[in-house]
């Protein structure tokens, strides 16, 4: 089941629980604006190449729209639509004053030189500069883009509008990026896990963790969980999977994966079949890689008691049902991985104030937001007698619906 179908299904279920007016429900699903632009650049060899760039701006009832820009060879309009909508609910769950957006350019970034990527980014920015902005729509990095991409967008945008560091987040620190942003999603996963385990009278310290994915989110989550006394017993990435029942040495593993471009061949654990990773015996499973990895094929074999969705949409709705019957508790992506967008909000706030925070303040504020978010989500679970995923969706949808009605959506 693709992301758009799953997101729309969750939204409709939440709307039903909340008893939303059907006209309002329909209005909330339709994106505010969809932009599609042609980006033609000269390549290094002098030939011209054309790419299609787009941006879906889903909703701005609660504030400027916010979401990533991805450079990927198959940027699918349906998927971008789903992700823009998901950002609307995610920012509302995190209770930060944003709406949702998502965008991208259909290109293979690996096949373009640095100067070609810069030209492409600048042309894209020229085409959309009057449709994004500090109080309109604030892009961020996503698949295939990084802080350097944001620096180019900032520079190009500033040629039209004057120096505006708050127009994008996820910037290099030298250009107004926030300290703590790089680790933010992984640190948010730590705080979310702490909040969930506390609910069951447990702490990170005495739990065994399995983490799928050792990219930015997975590696930071592993480091922070391990530092908090958790035992990370198995990890996988694109190169393979490794396991050590006594707990992996995450510092050494990180060093190994940087030097060898992957975790394969790490001496501090035995190599296992990556496809068996999700069904390893553990207390907490953290999928931090791709979507749709937990499905009806493997859901019955999962032994974890808790699943923390660090990736976007890792659990299929069918697997959701199987797991809830088994009594597995799933902390939904829309809350669990919102640390990144929360610290993006802090970056934007610092840029607008022209006053930067130290890293301790960033991390302390993140903890406050994540802890409060968990409490709000649990309250919705009690009010509507539903699981955590519906608790999060009803919380987000309700906040957006209320803002929409208060602003006068029928006028």
DSSP single-letter state for residue 277: G
| Domain 30-165, CATH | 3.40.50.10860
269 near 292, Cβ under 8 Å? no
pLDDT score of 197: 97
255 annotated as belonging to a binding site for a ligand: no
Residue 279 annotated in ligand binding: no
In the beta sheet, which residues pair with residue 284? Answer: 209, 306
Q: How far apart (Å, rounded) are the C-alpha atoms in residues 84 and 4? A: 10
Mean pLDDT to the nearest integer, 376-386: 96
Q: Determine whether the annotation assigns residue 66 to a binding site.
A: yes
Residue 411 has pLDDT above 60, yes or no: no
Looking at residue 45, its pLDDT comes to 97
Rounded CA separation 335/370 (Å)? 8
Mean pLDDT, range 283-311, rounded to an integer? 93
User: In the structure, what pLDDT confidence band is assigned to residue 3 with cuts at 50, 70 and 90?
Assistant: confident
Q: Are 189 and 336 in contact (CB under 8 A)?
A: yes
Mean pLDDT, range 399-404, rounded to an integer? 96
DSSP string of 139-199? Answer: EEE-TT--HHHHHHHHHHHHHHHS--GGG-SS--GGGTPPTTSTTHHHHHHHHHHHHHHHH
Return d(Cα 138, Cα 136) in angstroms, integer.
Answer: 7
Query: What is the C-alpha R_g of the chain?
Result: 21
Q: What is the mean pLDDT of the chain?
A: 94
Q: What is the pLDDT of residue 6?
A: 82
Each residue of 64-80: pLDDT tens digit?
999 999 998 888 888 88
Instruction: Report the pLDDT averaged over residues 328-350.
Output: 96
Q: Across residues 285-305, what is the average pLDDT?
A: 92
Question: What's the confidence (pLDDT) of residue 176?
Answer: 97
258 has a pLDDT exceeding 80: yes
Mean pLDDT, range 99-107, rounded to an integer: 96
Q: What is the largest CA-CA distance in the chain?
A: 65
Query: Domain spans of the chain?
Result: 30-165, 183-335
Query: What is the pLDDT averaged over residues 121-127?
Result: 98
3-state secondary structure of 377: helix
The answer to whether the annotation marks 185 as part of a ligand binding site is yes
Give the model's pLDDT for residue 243.
94
User: What is the percentage of the chain residues whose pLDDT exceeds 90?
Assistant: 86
Residue for token pair 């797991």: 323
What is the mean predicted confidence (pLDDT) over 177-193? 96
219 annotated as belonging to a binding site for a ligand: no
User: For residues 263 and 240, what is the distance between their CA atoms, to the nearest angstrom?
Assistant: 7
**CA dist list (Å): 56 to 69, 137, 139:** 10, 10, 11
Measured in degrees and rounded to the nearest 5, phi and psi for residue 304 equal: -65, 150
CATH superfamily of 183-335: NAD(P)-binding Rossmann-like Domain (3.40.50.720)
Q: Where are the alpha helices (DSSP H) in 175-271?
A: 184-199, 216-227, 250-259
* pLDDT at position 215: 87
Give the single-character DSSP code of 305. S
Q: Cα separation of 139 and 127, whole Å?
A: 14
- In a 10 Å sphere around its CB, with 0-12 CB exposed, 13-18 middle and 19+ buried, how is residue 279 labelled? middle
Q: Coil, helix or strand for 80?
A: helix
pLDDT at 48: 97
Does 1 have pLDDT greater than 80?
A: no
How many other C-beta atoms lie within 10 A of the C-beta of residue 260? 12
User: Rounded to the nearest 5°, which phi and psi values hold at 139?
Assistant: -70, 170
Q: Residues 210-237: what's their mean pLDDT?
A: 94
Q: What is the pLDDT of residues 134-181, one digit of tens each?
A: 999 999 998 889 999 999 999 999 999 999 999 999 999 999 999 999
Q: Tell me if 30-165 shares its fold with 183-335.
A: yes
State the average pLDDT over residues 317-338. Answer: 93
Euclidean distance between CA atoms 156 and 121, whole angstroms: 9
Catalytic site residues? 102
Q: What is the average per-residue pLDDT within 247-268?
A: 92
d(CA 61, CA 285): 35
As a whole number of angstroms, the distance between CA 218 and CA 79 comes to 23
Q: What is the pLDDT of residue 2?
A: 72
Do 248 and 269 form a contact (C-beta atoms < 8 A)? yes
| Angle subtended at Cα 70 by Cα 34 and Cα 75, rounded to the nearest 5 degrees | 65
Section 304-327 average pLDDT: 92
Query: CA torsion sign, 227 to 232 to 237 to 242?
Result: positive
Which tens digit of pLDDT belongs to each residue from 38-68?
999 999 999 999 999 999 999 999 999 999 9
Grade residue 92 by pLDDT with cuts at 50, 70 and 90. very high
């Amino acid at each position: 089941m693709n992301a758009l179908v799953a997101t729309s299904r969750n939204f409709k279920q939440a709307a039903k629980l909340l008893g939303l007016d059907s006209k309002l429900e329909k209005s909330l699903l339709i994106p505010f604006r969809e932009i599609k632009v042609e980006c033609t650049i000269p390549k290094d060899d002098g030939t011209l190449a054309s790419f299609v760039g787009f941006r879906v701006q889903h909703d701005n009832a609660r504030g400027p729209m916010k979401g990533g820009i991805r450079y990927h060879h198959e940027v699918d309009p349906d998927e971008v639509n789903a992700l823009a909508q998901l950002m609307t609910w995610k920012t509302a769950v995190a209770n930060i004053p944003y709406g949702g957006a998502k965008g991208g350019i259909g290109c293979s970034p690996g096949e373009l030189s640095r100067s070609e990527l810069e030209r492409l980014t600048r042309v894209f920015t020229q085409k959309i500069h009057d449709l994004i902005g500090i109080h309109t729509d604030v892009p961020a990095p996503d698949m295939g883009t990084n802080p350097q991409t944001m620096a180019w967008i900032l520079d190009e945008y500033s040629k039209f509008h004057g120096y505006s560091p708050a127009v994008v987040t996820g910037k290099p620190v030298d250009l107004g990026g926030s300290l703590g942003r790089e680790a933010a999603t992984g640190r948010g996963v730590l705080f979310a896990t702490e909040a969930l385990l506390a609910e069951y009278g447990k702490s990170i310290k005495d739990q065994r963790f399995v983490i799928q994915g050792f990219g930015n989110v997975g590696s930071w989550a592993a480091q922070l969980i391990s530092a908090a006394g958790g035992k990370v017993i198995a990890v996988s990435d694109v190169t393979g999977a490794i396991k050590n029942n006594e707990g992996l040495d995450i510092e050494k593993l990180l060093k190994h994966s940087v030097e060898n471009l992957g975790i394969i061949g790490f001496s501090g654990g035995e190599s296992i079949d990556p496809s068996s990773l999700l069904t390893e015996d553990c207390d907490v499973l953290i999928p931090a890689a791709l979507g749709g990895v937990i499905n009806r094929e493997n859901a019955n074999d999962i032994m974890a008691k808790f699943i923390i969705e660090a990736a976007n949409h890792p659990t299929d709705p069918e697997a959701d049902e199987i797991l809830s019957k088994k009594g597995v508790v799933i902390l939904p992506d829309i809350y669990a991985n919102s640390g990144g967008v929360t610290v993006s909000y802090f970056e934007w706030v610092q840029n607008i104030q022209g006053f930067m925070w130290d890293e301790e303040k960033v991390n302390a504020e993140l903890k406050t937001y994540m802890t409060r978010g968990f409490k709000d989500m649990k309250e919705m679970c009690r009010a509507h007698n539903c699981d955590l995923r519906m608790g999060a969706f009803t919380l987000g949808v309700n906040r957006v619906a209320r803002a929409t009605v208060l602003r006068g959506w029928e006028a």
